[in-house]
Amino acid sequence: MAKQKVAYIARGKSDISLTTEQLKGVDYELDHHICKSDGEIIEAVKGADIIINEVVPMSRAVIEQIDKAKAIVSLGHGFNHIDDDACTDKGIMLVNCAGYCAEEVANHTIMLLLACSRRLIAMHQLVKSGNWTASTNRGALPFYPMGHLEGQTLGLVGFGNIGRAVARRATVFGLNVLVFDPFLPSWVVQEYRIGTAPTIEELGARSDFVSMHVPLNKNTRKLAGESLFKAMKPTAYFINTCRGPTHDEQALIKALKSGKIAGAGLDVFEEEPTPASNPLLKMDNVVLTPHSAGTSDHSAVAGRMRLGEEAARIMRGTLPMSLVNPAVRHKIPARPLARSS
């Protein structure tokens, strides 16, 4: 097999050693490009057999100019910065690093759930302000009502790697797990002993917490909207650790202001960084973090290693482990299934 060309594109300087370490044994040459415009991306990927993408936006207009590459391997779990439909139309495999930070995001989800349920911010602010109370009079405490987790229901929108990791943790706290996922196989329902809901509105009506775990695409944009928030209990909380545009932020703000739901735990926003004028920043019943759910020392290493592993699989002639656009298989020559590293 002829030496393969790899174009590594990034928005700034980066250490690619963890990625290239996984390419040992593959005959290739790699060019590392810093790209700040569509034109620079188009020039950088000319003649490349594989494109490794470090979260560089690639629109349909850019993808249509790709002349040779058979795959784009993208750092991270989300892939909404790349037009996956354009990749399929062009016969290009789009690959992400699914699962590399699943445990971190699942932990963050449970952290937000507990922070909402246990009124963490209210208690934290109380003590930091120099106040204290040991009163048994419920009216004297600023954080009632406070929920009891065991026996309550956690509704998961999406049940992929991260949703399943959340479910495993939720059962430890005695939570019942209910899932809305139109693509969920029946054997997964049996394996995880979960309930299912036919619509997102029914999930909301039956849940005490609703948590989002879906990729951002044309089907999931504003999936959690006014109809969901209207269906939810006034004591329920909404949690999102996937992508901000999967919920309708204005509808959520309206639901929080009107008391339609009790509160929210958010790691993601429609616009990031979210502007200082966002009403969510001033709400006492909202817990916020800065799109950091997948962050850890471990995931920072694992993500870059996965980039190289997936690129190596493709260059060796197999399918990748995490193919975002499986419909592309009808447009490319047959490949053996991927093998674990």
Catalytically active residues are 243, 272, 291
Nearest residue to 161 via CA among 213, 96, 84: 213
Q: Find how far residue 291's CA is from the centre of its chain.
A: 10
Q: Which two tokens stand for residue 89?
A: 């139309």
Give the DSSP per-residue string, 228-255.
Answer: HHHHS-TT-EEEE-S-GGGB-HHHHHHH
Give the DSSP per-residue string, 48-66.
Answer: -SEEEEES--B-HHHHTT-
Rounded CA separation 216/241 (Å): 12
Rounded CA separation 187/216 (Å): 25
Phi-psi region of 197 (alpha: psi -120 to 50; beta: other; left: phi over 0): beta
Residue reference for tokens 């250490």: 15
| CA separation, residue 21 to residues 4, 69, 304, 326 (Å) | 16, 21, 10, 27
Rounded CA separation 184/137 (Å): 47
Which residues lie below 8 Å from residue 147, measured CB to CB, with a gap of 6+? 117, 208, 235
Q: Cβ distance 28 to 4 under 8 Å?
A: yes
